[in-house]
Amino acid sequence: MENNNQNKLTKWLNKLQQESWQLELVISGFSIFLILGAWQELKGYSKDIAVASQGLDAGDSLLSVAYGITIGACLFILINLVLHVLLRGIWISTIGLRYVSGDIDFDSLKLSPAFDRLLRRKVGSFDQYILQLENLCSVVFAFTFLIVFMFLAVGLYFGFFVFVINVLVDPLEGVCSEGLFDVIEKTVAIVLLVGGLLYFVDFLTLGFLKKVKWLSHIYLPFYRLFSLVTLSFLYRPIYYNLIDNKFGRWVGFLLVPYVAVVGFLLSEKIHSHVWYPDKPGRTALLNSHYDEQRTEKTLITTGSIPSKFVENGFLELFLAYIPKQDNRSLEKLCPDFKPFFEPGFETDLEFRFNGETPPPRTNAPDTALACFSQLYEIRIGDSLFLDNKYRFHRHTNYSEYGLVTILDVGYLPRGEHLLDVKKLGRKIADGQLRDTVVSFFQIPFWKE
């Protein structure tokens, strides 16, 4: 009975193999259509991630890596599936051509003996060419999803590394002595880095470390751990089925070079305007500084004014709140103030066992605004603006967090002026990192 079931399964799989090209084309075409349709939406999420994670050290890295992996995976799926469709198109055309003219008839070509021998050896049978195309198409299709799983594995490894260091190790800082904590943190980091490197090398070398007997006992615990972390059960059968034959091993060795070459080609740029600086700095007139000229969904990372031309004598200035830079300065300026939230992820679900609701904090926003106002130093030319009235504001551009203030510039003469904003930050002085006022941004504008 078991043999009969096995025979039925084998016959069914053999039949599917012969007809799999139809499923491959359907899936490839449908996937290409979906990815092209979702590409712009995916690119737009980069701004959401940037705004949401500005104050998260580990969270920013995790979200950015997750987003980068998603974009990279979609890009390689698109490239590979387009290549797969093209190869399948060539394969179908060769089958149609074979139906019309059969195999290659070298005798009818009446070539010279030298070229006849060369082409018979190099070109070979047309049937063999069709079979090679069939194998290549099937491998490229499977290769596509193996690349996706490779991206997924890298992301999961990075997430696991950050989770262990930030969630499991960092809380020990308040429990252990400083020396012991440094030893624990460095040891855990080295173990994770070495284990991840061994796992990655073993993957790239198609299982070379598993073949070395004296190393296998050392490598086995790392292999078990990172196999679990990277969810290798999803791609392990594809991986080993791909590398158990000569052609598959050849494709497997090309995995990383292929990803590297595609990434390199996509990052290539053509330089023709060689006298134009890559970073003009203060000599540039940036569209991102003016609300009326900013391109759609360009994130405000410093400050912004409505227009480069000021007509009514009042200049509206938006100052972006950059948590990674500003939180530390705010804590020093107002050490007794308790922030409204803890940095990190949270849920809207609340669990209370005593039924008591914490009292509202009535004056906290005013206190926070007073702390923020001490961060900035605003100048236009030689004029220093004091006692500016700030308000919390979410910019209409992309809901960036920040402050807004209105500057009275009616006294300025007609012509060009430079808005210079500095804020409390840190910079290296005398070989040490010190708290001081640093340049934030400059925006030129014209008074009418």
pLDDT on residue 379: 92
Q: What per-residue string of b and e applies to 234-248 under the rule 16 or more CB within 10 Å gives b? A: ebeeebeebbeeeeb
pLDDT tens readout for residues 372-389: 888 899 999 888 888 889
182 or 317, which is more confident? 317
Residue 28 clears pLDDT 60, i.e. is over it: yes
Residue 69 clears pLDDT 50, i.e. is over it: yes
pLDDT tens readout for residues 415-436: 999 999 998 887 766 666 677 8
pLDDT tens readout for residues 48-64: 666 555 545 444 556 66
Give the model's confidence band at 342: pLDDT under 50 very low, under 70 low, under 90 confident, else very high. low
Distances (CA, A) of 201 to 238, 240, 255, 285, 297: 18, 15, 13, 48, 40
Residue 316 clears pLDDT 90, i.e. is over it: yes
Give the model's confidence band at 129: pLDDT under 50 very low, under 70 low, under 90 confident, else very high. confident
Distances (CA, A) of 85 to 30, 198, 261, 405: 11, 36, 21, 57
pLDDT (average), residues 115-137: 81
Chain position carrying tokens 């972006």:
320
Q: Return all residues near 319 (Cβ < 8 A) that are at least 6 apart.
A: 303, 376, 390, 402, 403, 404, 405, 421, 440
Q: Could you tell me which of 376, 386, 283 has the C-alpha nearest to residue 329?
A: 376
Distances (CA, A) of 130 to 87, 122, 136, 143, 321: 11, 15, 10, 20, 61
Give the model's confidence band at 136: pLDDT under 50 very low, under 70 low, under 90 confident, else very high. confident
Q: Which amino acid is at 380?
A: I
**Three-state SS at 158:** helix
pLDDT on residue 59: 46
Q: Determine if residue 196 is left, alpha or beta; phi over 0 gives left, psi from -120 to 50 gives alpha, anything else beta.
A: alpha
Q: Is the entire prediction scored with pTM above 0.85?
A: no
- Supply 213's token pair: 């007997």
Helix or strand holding residue 319 (H, E): strand 314-320
pLDDT on residue 444: 92
pLDDT tens readout for residues 81-108: 888 888 888 888 888 887 777 777 777 8
What does the alpha-carbon distance between residue 368 and residue 373 come to, in Å, rounded to a whole number?
9
With residues binned 3-state (H G I as helix, E B as strand, rest as coil), the percentages for the chain, rounded to 5, are 60, 15, 25
What does the alpha-carbon distance between residue 57 and residue 323 come to, in Å, rounded to a whole number?
10
pLDDT on residue 362: 58
**Three-state SS at 317:** strand
Q: What is the CA radius of gyration of the chain?
A: 31
Burial bucket for residue 443 (CB in 10 Å: 0-12, 13-18, 19+): buried
What does the alpha-carbon distance between residue 75 and residue 178 come to, in Å, rounded to a whole number?
45
> Do 49 and 61 touch, CB atoms closer than 8 A?
no
pLDDT tens readout for residues 165-189: 877 887 777 677 777 778 888 888 8
**Three-state SS at 415:** strand
> Do 69 and 77 touch, CB atoms closer than 8 A?
no
**Three-state SS at 143:** helix
Residue 15 clears pLDDT 90, i.e. is over it: no
Number of C-beta neighbours around residue 210 at 10 A: 14
